[in-house]
């Protein structure tokens, strides 16, 4: 069990570092470039996001007792939903130059 947690922690660290590097690359990318590399970077970013989310959910469920798994899962899902709804709206306002 401890070995699995250590591998999970190393995996989370690796995915987080690569995800941050891809995010910085996308943020500083010249939009005049070809669409191929942009699409590949976005696919990598999305795949890493999915891996990060699912591994964090699994780690959270391991830390709570069996009777608390459902409340934890529903809280995480609500937090994810709020972020998925508000994130694009805040990004739109930031791109238009409005205060967030």
Which structure tokens are listed for 63? 């830390």
pLDDT of residue 12: 87
Q: Residue 31, SS3? A: coil
Cα separations in angstroms, 81 against 51, 52, 86 = 17, 16, 9
State the CB neighbour count (10 A cutoff) for residue 48.
Answer: 19
Low-confidence ranges of the chain (pLDDT < 50): none
Nearest CA-CA partner of 22 in 45, 43, 49, 47: 45
pTM to 2 decimal places: 0.66
d(CA 31, CA 68): 46
Q: Where are the domains of the chain?
A: 1-63, 65-100
pLDDT tens-digit map of 62-91 = 889 899 999 999 999 999 899 999 999 998
């Amino acid at each position: 069990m401890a070995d699995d947690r250590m591998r999970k922690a190393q995996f989370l660290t690796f995915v987080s570092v690569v995800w941050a590097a891809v995010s910085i690359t996308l943020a500083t990318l010249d939009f005049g470039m070809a669409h191929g590399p942009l699409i590949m970077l976005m696919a990598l970013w999305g795949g890493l996001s999915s891996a990060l989310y699912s591994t964090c959910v699994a780690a959270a469920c391991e830390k709570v007792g069996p009777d608390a798994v459902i409340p934890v899962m529903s809280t995480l899902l609500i937090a994810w939903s709020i972020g998925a709804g508000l994130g694009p709206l805040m990004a739109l306002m930031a791109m238009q130059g409005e205060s967030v």
